[in-house]
Amino acid sequence: MTIGAVAASGRALTRAAIAPVPTGAAVVVVELGPGTGAMTTAIEQRLAGRGRQLAIEVNARLARALSTRHPAVAVVQADAAELGTVLTDRGIAHADVVVSGLPWAAFRPQQQAQLLDAMVTGLSPDGVFTTFAYVHSRWTPAARRFRRELEARFEEVLIGRTVWRNLPPALVYYARRPTTAGRGTVRDQLRIRSARRRSWTSSSRLCPST
């Protein structure tokens, strides 16, 4: 899979995307598709020397340049779908935060599913996965399908405010608490969620408020 975006992330989008990274905390943060390193720099500043920061970049030239500019960051030339292997090879059980700059619209549905499954496997139970999309594509069938894929794998999926100052304008997805069941199909997960909602509704009717 190739990694890239329409343009480098602007400062406002970068701040929104890395918001879940705790300031100065000893956590493991993985960046997928760092490209030229706009978010890499911001994450490094936010961690302030604590924890561990990894950046997975499939493009060899970009990976070399990033490694030179950020010697304290573990830059790995690999496919983002190899997240689990990258962590295991470095003795890391799970990442606390995964920040993605991957161009989801460029991937086929099967590739998206493969990548998201890697996120579920690689994140800690309370982990957070963030990624961004451009506003002009938010309501396309592909974008709606992508959100369903996220909702099938995470307990909570939120969309942040539109970052109008980015070119093009973008929004950030915040997906929290990966589910082990998320490795199943989207249809299976949506069926489970629907059943839970029906069960909750039935219980509410049987237990009127006092």
Does position 196 have pLDDT exceeding 80, yes or no? no
What pLDDT sits at residue 188?
A: 52
Q: Where are the domains of the chain?
A: 11-206
What pLDDT sits at residue 203?
A: 40
Q: How far apart are CA 123 and CA 76, in angstroms?
A: 18
Q: How far apart are CA 11 and CA 138, in angstroms?
A: 21
Q: Which residue has the higher pLDDT, 131 or 10?
A: 131
Find out whether 156 and 33 touch, Cβ atoms under 8 Å: no
Q: Does domain 11-206 have CATH number 3.40.30.160?
A: no
Does position 200 have pLDDT exceeding 50, yes or no? no
Q: How far apart are CA 141 and CA 4, in angstroms?
A: 21
Is the sign of the CA dihedral 92, 94, 98, 101 positive or negative?
positive
- For 60: left if phi > 0, alpha if psi spans -120 to 50, otherwise beta; the answer is alpha
Q: Which residue has the higher pLDDT, 14 or 207?
A: 14
Does position 175 have pLDDT exceeding 70, yes or no? yes
pLDDT in tens, 73-107: 999 999 999 999 999 999 999 999 999 999 998 99
The pTM of this model reads 0.82
